[in-house]
Amino acid sequence: MTPLARILTARIAADGPMSLADYMAECLLHPRHGYYATRDPLGVAGDFTTAPEISQMFGELLGLCLAQAWIDQARPARFVLAEIGPGRGTLMADILRAIRAVPAMADAADVHLIEASPALRARQRQTLGDGVTWHDHIATLPDAPLFLVANEFFDALPIRQFTRHGAGWRERQIGLEDGTLRFGLGPETAFPLLAARIMGTAPGEIVETCPAAGPIAAEIATRIARRGGAALIVDYGGWRSLGDTFQAVKAHTPVDPLAEPGEADLTAHVDFEALATAMTGAGAAVTGMTTQGRFLERLGITARAQALARGMEGAALAAHVAAHRRLTHPAEMGEVFKVIACHPIGCPAPAGLDPAGPDPAP
């Protein structure tokens, strides 16, 4: 039993079952035993690999996408260039390298990172140096035009799960069975926030909600609607939550999410409809939802891959070709990962996304 498992077991024994959201928050962010508080989880030696760690092409193209949005909005003389959930800082490093090719843009950028993990902040400082300001919350960013990226951030926010039961819902909870953590269901309740989902679900089906996602998306959108800018949100998920997507990964392998609290990464698919609703409700425009593969192809990833491949051979060339495939192919990250963008109403949509609106939900 992990140290955090003992803490959670004692808490449940004293207070009763906890929601999945509370369980995820403790497992990921407990100050002493939480997953993100205690390690760098990325890379071959870690538990998972994100797109920026696969190839520099990903960050470069996102950087040029933001650059075009900056140009389209009359090149603000000072702006906040921010990333929320910035991992090792690799994506921001690639973005900065790309925008240095755009006259005056890099000089106009103030770099800010929203990161709760002390371990990852230290790694980001190694990657980016000291010319960065760190924040615990997006609310403390400066009041300025905001150009922001969020790659695989929203999937790690704690979720609640509800199982359709008759005309109501039963919340999935974590309880104890013979002293061991087990899933269970709470009593049937109406849950007014889920009233609109009754018509589109059948008894026994699961709907997930993410209480923290809407307020964060709304904060991003409010700033962009008021001061200008753009946000690119890249994550895995779909247009509307349906089904159990809660998962745990350790050493790049799926594991039981209750087996070793604090020792595995916990995530769930992102409900892009909920994000879009929060952002449009805050007064911004939303463009997407587009698959990652289509988005990167529209931005020119194949041409960039061909340019980088010149002079490569052997294992380096094979790894480069594999990275391009992993980012774009439907059987890899190209289909399950989606992209939406937030921008001011009346401004051109960021490049690579369909200005007509979301792609059809899968």
Identify the sign of the CA torsion 319, 119, 38, 235: negative
Same-domain pairing of 330 and 293: yes
Q: How many domains does the structure of the chain reveal?
A: 2
Residue 261's CB is within 10 A of a number of other CB atoms, namely 29
The average pLDDT across 349-361 equals 68
Same-domain pairing of 89 and 73: yes
Side-chain-side CA neighbours of 159 within 13 Å: the count stands at: 24
DSSP 271: E
Q: Are 182 and 174 in contact (CB under 8 A)?
A: yes
Q: Are 237 and 273 in contact (CB under 8 A)?
A: no
pLDDT band at 45 (very low <50, low <70, confident <90, very high): low
pLDDT at 166: 84
| 224: pLDDT strictly greater than 70 | yes
| 76: pLDDT strictly greater than 60 | yes
* C-alpha–C-alpha distance, residues 22 and 39, integer Å: 21
Residue 358 within a domain: no
Same-domain pairing of 202 and 182: yes
Residue 39 within a domain: no
The torsion angle over the Cα atoms of residues 171, 174, 176 and 179, rounded to 10 degrees, is 170
Same-domain pairing of 151 and 164: no
pLDDT digits (tens, 9 = 90+) for 85-129: 999 999 999 999 999 999 999 999 999 999 988 888 999 999 999
Closest CA to 328 of 302, 354, 361, 355: 302
What percentage of the chain exceeds 70 in pLDDT?
95
The average pLDDT across 299-322 equals 95
* C-alpha–C-alpha distance, residues 122 and 87, integer Å: 10
Residue 232's CB is within 10 A of a number of other CB atoms, namely 25
The domain boundary residue, chosen from 208, 237, 270: 208
Q: Are 106 and 96 in contact (CB under 8 A)?
A: yes
Distance of CA 305 to the CA centre of its chain: 25
DSSP 132: -
Residue 302 within a domain: yes
The average pLDDT across 20-27 equals 96
* C-alpha–C-alpha distance, residues 104 and 238, integer Å: 37
CATH number of the domain at 91, please. Answer: 3.40.50.12710
Phi-psi bin for 87: left (phi > 0), alpha (psi -120 to 50), beta?
A: left
**What are the φ and ψ backbone dihedral angles of 83, each rounded to 5 degrees?**
-130, 135
The average pLDDT across 119-140 equals 93
Residue 263 within a domain: yes
The average pLDDT across 275-301 equals 96
* C-alpha–C-alpha distance, residues 342 and 340, integer Å: 7
Q: 295 is written with which tokens?
A: 């988005």
**What are the φ and ψ backbone dihedral angles of 346, each rounded to 5 degrees?**
95, -10
The residue with tokens 């990652």 is 292
Same-domain pairing of 18 and 138: no
Q: 92 is written with which tokens?
A: 């921001």
* C-alpha–C-alpha distance, residues 245 and 237, integer Å: 9
Mean pLDDT, the chain, rounded, equals 93
* C-alpha–C-alpha distance, residues 168 and 163, integer Å: 9
DSSP 269: -
pLDDT digits (tens, 9 = 90+) for 158-193: 999 999 998 899 999 999 999 999 999 999 988 888
For residue 285, give the amino acid letter: A
* C-alpha–C-alpha distance, residues 173 and 358, integer Å: 33
Print the domain residue range for 336: 51-158+210-343
pLDDT at 358: 46
Secondary structure class of 314 (helix, strand, coil)? helix
Closest CA to 353 of 234, 225, 220: 234
Q: Which residue has the higher pLDDT, 97 or 360?
A: 97
